[in-house]
């Protein structure tokens, strides 16, 4: 343990050492009561990184003296799950009621999650899944219905500071040193509420300061965090910077850069569905009707990533990124909805023209609802010229076709149908 990182050296050895999560492990906490009764349900621990999900799972197994096995959803497949379940039904290390802990269970595909159902229902294993994502969306309903969901709350700054004070007082390598916490703002920002990252960053700062008395300042933290040892932080600033670079590379039609930034996210452990969702948004916002198939491609890629699971779905994401980067670009749909919303804000609830209103009753027809509406399909080319906007907005152009082959066709069609009615300002 002497060479273990500070976060590992400070990992709680019993429930009373767990920081925060009073609603779960405090004197009246629901998990503490479950442990006291010995009746432990399968569960999903949902919370941000570094708040104690893995630690809680280990402490539960130790308290109940049950065999404990872990799988990572990043590297494990259905075969690994079935092997553990098979062993759990026997004797020895994997005896009945063994606890199976699956980290990042949201990364399991539907098929992988399905493989757990029978063992969980029969009690062959007690499942503890950990996730940073909302289990309502990321865990299949059949598995979710067989588990209790316990939410772990983010650690407050006061709790994190208390953790630092405890580390300085109790850790064998730190308690003999004089350490001053002169400034902590940068340290808190660098941790992103992650206790593990906080302690390891704190230790890096102490090592960077050298032997003797240490004063922790914001400048020292920034120097350490911004150095080569800085890692991809899924909750922090670098997360947003890399996602931004990825999206801008797609928008800028550079597949080389797009795949590079995709690889940075893949290697950093980013949620593949987060990446896929961002590509779905971009397909509509930045490509739109210049290539409508882009939205289909992005949506299908997201569904395929959910079906296939990790790590194979990285290939699907790469294919989609290259397709989007090499597609013609248009933001006309994005601009159109923005302009329309602005008009709504400026003009309020303008009345619907009478001829466009629904007229399900005789009274409504008698007062003019629907009167004068022309059924477009009765016109030549399935078109009849009539007013579709509120009177106050008549002739207001909202959609401006982009300068690409497909939307030039849109522009020609609109000119043929509407003439100069919707001339752009």
pLDDT digits (tens, 9 = 90+) for 51-71: 888 888 888 888 888 888 888
Supply the CATH classification number for the domain 20-151. 3.40.50.300
Is the torsion defined by CA of 109, 112, 118, 121 positive or negative? negative
Token representation of residue 58: 């280990």
Q: Is the pLDDT of residue 237 over 60?
A: no
Q: Residue 96 carries which DSSP code?
A: T
**Spatial distance between the Cα atoms of 209 and 231, rounded to a whole number of angstroms:** 20
Lowest mean pLDDT among 44-48, 76-80, 305-309: 76-80
Cβ-contact 44, 144 below 8 angstroms: yes
At 384, phi and psi to the nearest 5?
-130, 125
CATH class of the domain defined by 237-325: mainly alpha
If pLDDT is split at 50, 70 and 90, which confidence band does 238 have?
A: low
Measuring CA to CA, which residue among 79, 85, 110 is closest to residue 98? Answer: 85
Task: Indicate the average pLDDT of the chain.
Answer: 85
Q: Is the pLDDT of residue 408 over 80?
A: yes
Q: Is the pLDDT of residue 46 over 50?
A: yes
Could you write out the DSSP letters of every residue in 271-316? -HHHHHHHHHHHIIIIIGGGSTHHHHHHHHHHHHHHHH-TTTHHHH
pLDDT at 93: 38
**What's the rounded mean pLDDT across residues 204-231?**
76
Supply the CATH classification number for the domain 157-225. 1.10.8.60
Percent of the chain's residues with pLDDT above 90: 24
pLDDT digit string, tens, across residues 104-156: 888 888 888 888 888 888 878 888 999 888 888 788 888 888 888 988 888 88
Tell the residue number behind the tokens 């650690």, with chain if given.
Answer: 155
Cβ-contact 58, 13 below 8 angstroms: no
pLDDT at 36: 83
Token representation of residue 149: 């969901």
pTM (2 decimals)? 0.52
pLDDT digit string, tens, across residues 90-106: 444 344 478 888 888 88
How far does CA 56 lie from the centroid of its chain? Answer: 23
Question: Residues near 407 by Cβ (< 8 Å), separated by ≥ 6?
Answer: 289, 290, 330, 332, 401
Looking at per-residue confidence, does 420 or 138 come out higher? 420
Q: Is the pLDDT of residue 268 over 70?
A: yes
pLDDT at 228: 39
Cβ-contact 282, 251 below 8 angstroms: yes
Looking at per-residue confidence, does 137 or 365 come out higher? 365
Looking at per-residue confidence, does 128 or 189 come out higher? 128
Token representation of residue 404: 């690409």
Q: Is the pLDDT of residue 385 over 60?
A: yes
pLDDT at 92: 40
In terms of average pLDDT, the best of 173-187, 210-224, 398-412 is 398-412
Q: Is the pLDDT of residue 338 over 70?
A: yes
Tell the residue number behind the tokens 């990285």, with chain if given.
Answer: 314
**Burial of 254: CB neighbours in 10 Å, binned 0-12, 13-18, 19+:** middle
**Spatial distance between the Cα atoms of 389 and 370, rounded to a whole number of angstroms:** 15
Beta bridge mates, 214? 179
**What's the rounded mean pLDDT across residues 190-203?**
84
Cβ-contact 111, 309 below 8 angstroms: yes
Question: Residues near 322 by Cβ (< 8 Å), separated by ≥ 6?
Answer: 255, 258, 259
**Spatial distance between the Cα atoms of 136 and 125, rounded to a whole number of angstroms:** 22
Q: Is the pLDDT of residue 424 over 80?
A: no
**Spatial distance between the Cα atoms of 412 and 421, rounded to a whole number of angstroms:** 14
Looking at per-residue confidence, does 27 or 331 come out higher? 331
Which H or E run includes 414?
A: helix 405-418
Q: How many Cα atoms within 13 Å fall on the side-chain side of residue 27?
A: 0
Annotated domain spans of the chain? 20-151, 157-225, 237-325, 335-418
pLDDT at 178: 87
Supply the CATH classification number for the domain 335-418. 1.10.3710.10
pLDDT at 227: 46
**Spatial distance between the Cα atoms of 254 and 189, rounded to a whole number of angstroms:** 32
How far does CA 251 lie from the centroid of its chain? Answer: 21
In terms of average pLDDT, the best of 48-52, 136-140, 316-320 is 316-320
Looking at per-residue confidence, does 115 or 275 come out higher? 275
Q: How many CB atoms are closer than 10 A to CB 66?
A: 16
Measuring CA to CA, which residue among 168, 167, 128 is closest to residue 147? Answer: 128
pLDDT at 259: 95
């Amino acid at each position: 343990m002497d060479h273990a990182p500070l976060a590992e050296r400070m990992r709680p050895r019993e429930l009373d050492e767990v920081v925060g999560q009073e609603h779960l492990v405090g004197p009246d906490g629901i998990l503490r009561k479950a442990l006291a009764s010995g009746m432990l349900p399968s569960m999903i621990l949902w919370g941000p990184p570094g708040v104690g999900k893995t630690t809680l799972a280990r402490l539960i197994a130790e308290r109940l003296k049950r065999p404990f096995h872990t799988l990572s959803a990043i590297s494990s497949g259905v075969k690994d799950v079935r092997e553990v379940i098979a062993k759990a039904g026997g004797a020895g290390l994997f005896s009945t009621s063994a606890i199976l802990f699956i980290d990042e269970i949201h990364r399991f595909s539907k098929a992988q999650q399905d493989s757990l159902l029978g063992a969980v229902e029969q009690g062959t294993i007690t499942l503890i899944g950990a996730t940073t994502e909302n289990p309502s969306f990321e865990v299949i309903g059949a598995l979710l219905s067989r588990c209790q969901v316990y939410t772990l709350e983010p650690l407050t700054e006061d709790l994190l500071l208390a953790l630092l004070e405890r580390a300085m007082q109790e850790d064998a390598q730190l308690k003999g040193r004089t350490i001053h916490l002169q400034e902590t703002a940068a340290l808190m920002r660098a941790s992103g509420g992650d206790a593990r990252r906080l302690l390891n960053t704190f230790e890096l700062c102490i090592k960077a300061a050298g032997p003797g008395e240490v004063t922790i300042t914001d400048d020292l933290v920034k120097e350490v965090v911004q150095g080569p040892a800085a890692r991809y932080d899924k909750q922090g600033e670098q997360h947003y910077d890399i996602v931004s670079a990825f999206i801008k590379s797609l928008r800028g039609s550079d597949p080389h850069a797009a795949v590079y930034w995709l690889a940075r996210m893949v290697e950093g452990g980013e949620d593949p569905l987060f990446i896929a969702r961002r590509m779905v948004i971009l397909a509509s916002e930045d490509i739109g009707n210049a290539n409508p198939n882009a939205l289909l491609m992005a949506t299908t890629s997201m569904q395929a990533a959910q079906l296939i699971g990790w790590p194979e779905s990285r290939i699907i994401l790469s294919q989609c990124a290259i397709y989007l980067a090499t597609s013609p670009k248009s933001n006309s749909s994005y601009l159109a909805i923005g302009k329309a919303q602005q008009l709504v804000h400026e003009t309020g609830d303008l009345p619907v023209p009478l001829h466009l209103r629904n007229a399900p009753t005789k009274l409504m027809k008698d007062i003019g609802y629907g009167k004068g509406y022309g059924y477009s399909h009765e016109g030549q080319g399935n078109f009849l010229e009539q007013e579709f906007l509120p009177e106050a907005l008549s002739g207001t152009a909202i959609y401006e076709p982009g300068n690409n082959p497909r939307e030039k066709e849109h522009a020609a069609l609109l000119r043929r149908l509407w003439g100069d009615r919707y001339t752009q300002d």
